[in-house]
Amino acid sequence: MTWTDPFSDARSRLALLSQSARDWALFLDIDGTVLDIAERPDLVQAPPGLTDDLARVSDALEGALALVSGRAIRWIDERFQPLRLPTAGQQGCEIRLEKNGPALDGVIVDLNESRERLRPLARLAGIEIEDKGLTIAVHYRRARERTAWVRARIERALTGLGPGIEVLSGRLVYEVKPRGVDKGSAVARLARMPAFSGRMPVYFGDDRTDEVGFREALARSGIAVQVGPNQAPAGCAWVESPEDVRCWLAGLFACAPEAACA
């Protein structure tokens, strides 16, 4: 699906998308998609009302709403408590397949060498190492004035890791994670669960790490939506900001039960 109308604003596009929403399996990235990105990971918070909107939409979709994130599931649960949705955390390295179910670890690799290599970088101004257990994120959002230098240092530190580890470059972040598991594989696994099976997958994301999720949704004849400043990959719809996504969620299924609203 590609949007060609230059006069349609984000909310009009989302309204058009939601016309068949009751048949969807909805997959939502978190940072930069439903939550605004903050200067530091610990400063990210869920705005008032978002948790209630997610719970309502999940109920309307009979449980076919999942969060898909680079964050750890524990972090996600703290931000959206008491809600416990199906969730893929740490780029799919941990997953909760059912609402209120247990969080399960997937592929595990030894990241100790990566930790040692990154330790000196943690002392550099503007770089923050977020060790999530199964993956490690290297943030450099606060080093924008010397991005090229910082990127070179990070890439040099992470060159030549073991064959089971890969490094993904995102928006002002590098993700160190097990090879062969990602947001796309998480979507595929969730799509086989009873709540999601037989529905059209719709994936909202904002960063390069979401592109595998986009491809998985599109391969299943679904919809992919790029949120924010990155150029939308081929076949994806596009909206401007997390605020537009939150406003859309607030209106979705908020009218008569037989119709979706936006």
Q: Is residue 1 part of a domain?
A: no
CA angle 24, 30, 32 (to 5 degrees): 115
Q: Cis omega (within 30 of 0) on the bond before 82?
A: yes
Task: Point out the domain boundary residue: 144, 178, 212.
Answer: 178
Return the CATH number at 95. Answer: 3.40.50.1000
Q: Are residues 99 and 196 in the same domain?
A: yes
Is 257 a domain residue? no
Catalytic residue among 5, 9, 23, 29: 29
- Overall pTM > 0.85: yes
Domain that holds residue 71: 10-106+181-251
Residue 17 C-alpha from the chain's centroid: 19
Whether 128 is covered by a domain: the verdict is: yes
- The rounded distance, in Å, linking the Cα atoms of 193 and 128 is 36
Q: Is residue 5 part of a domain?
A: no
Region of poorest pLDDT, from 13-27, 129-143, 150-164, 225-239: 13-27
Does residue 42 sit in the same domain as residue 148?
Answer: no
125 and 244 inside one domain: no
Express each pLDDT in 116-144 by its tens digit: 999 999 888 889 999 999 999 999 988 87
11, pLDDT greater than 80: no
174, 185: one domain: no
List, for residues 45-61, the tens digit of each pLDDT value.
Answer: 899 999 999 999 999 99
Q: Which tokens is 187 given?
A: 């979507």
Per DSSP, the three-state class of 9 is coil
Annotated catalytic, 29?
Answer: yes
Decide if 169 is inside a domain: yes
DSSP 3-state of 20? helix
Long-range CB pairs of 46-53 (<8 Å, 24+ gap) are 46/79, 46/80, 47/246, 49/250, 50/80, 50/246, 50/249, 51/80, 51/81, 51/83, 53/246, 53/249, 53/250, 53/252
Same domain membership, residue 136 and residue 60: no
Do 72 and 149 share a domain, yes or no?
A: no
Query: Cα–Cα distance between 130 and 118 in angstroms, integer?
Result: 11
Is 240 within a domain? yes
Domain boundary among 158, 178, 198: 178
Q: Identify the pLDDT of residue 246.
A: 96
Q: Is residue 71 part of a domain?
A: yes
- pLDDT for the residue 179: 92
**pLDDT at residue 8, rounded to an integer:** 53
| pLDDT given for residue 255 in this prediction | 64
Q: How many domains does the chain have?
A: 2
